[in-house]
Structure 1
Amino acid sequence: MRRVLNNQPSDTQSQRENIFHTRCNISNKAFSLIVDSGSWCNCCSTRMVEKLGLTTTPHPKPYQLQWLNNDGDMVVNQQVKVEFSIGNYQDKVKCDVVPMEALSYFVG
Structure 2
Amino acid sequence: MVMRDNGDIVTDTEDSDTDDMPPLEDVPEEEYLAPDALTLVARRALSLQTKGVEEVQREKIFHTRCYIKDKVCSVIIDGGSCTNVASATMVEKLRLPMVKHPRPYKLQWLNDSGEIRVNKQVLVAFRISKYEDEVLCDVVPMQAGHLLLGRPWQFDRRVKHDGFTNKYSFVLNQRSITLVPLTPQQVYEDQVRLQK
1:72 matched to 2:72: no
1:92 aligned partner: 134
Q: How many residues align?
A: 96
State the 1:57 CA deviation: 0.2
In the superposition, relative to structure 1, how do residues 67 and 55 fare at CA in structure 2: closer, same or farther (>3 Å)? Answer: same
2:82 aligned partner: 40
Select 1:101's aligned residue among 143, 148, 158. Answer: 143
**How much is the aligned-residue C-alpha RMSD, in angstroms?**
1.7
Contact 2:120 2:139 in 1 (8 A): yes
1:49 matched to 2:72: no
Contact 2:110 2:143 in 1 (8 A): no
Contact 2:111 2:141 in 1 (8 A): no
**What's the CA shift string for 1:24-46, capped at 9, x where partnerless?**
10001100100112321100111
TM-score normalised by L of structure 2: 0.46
State the 1:66 CA deviation: 1.2
Identity across matched positions, percent = 51
- Dislocated runs of 4+, deviation >2 Å: 68-72
1:5 aligned partner: none
In the superposition, relative to structure 1, how do residues 53 and 64 fare at CA in structure 2: closer, same or farther (>3 Å)? Answer: same
Q: Distance in 2 between matches of 1:91 and 1:77?
A: 23
Structure whose residues are more often strand by fraction: 1
Q: Which one has more relative contact order, counting CA pairs under 8 Å at least 6 apart?
A: 1
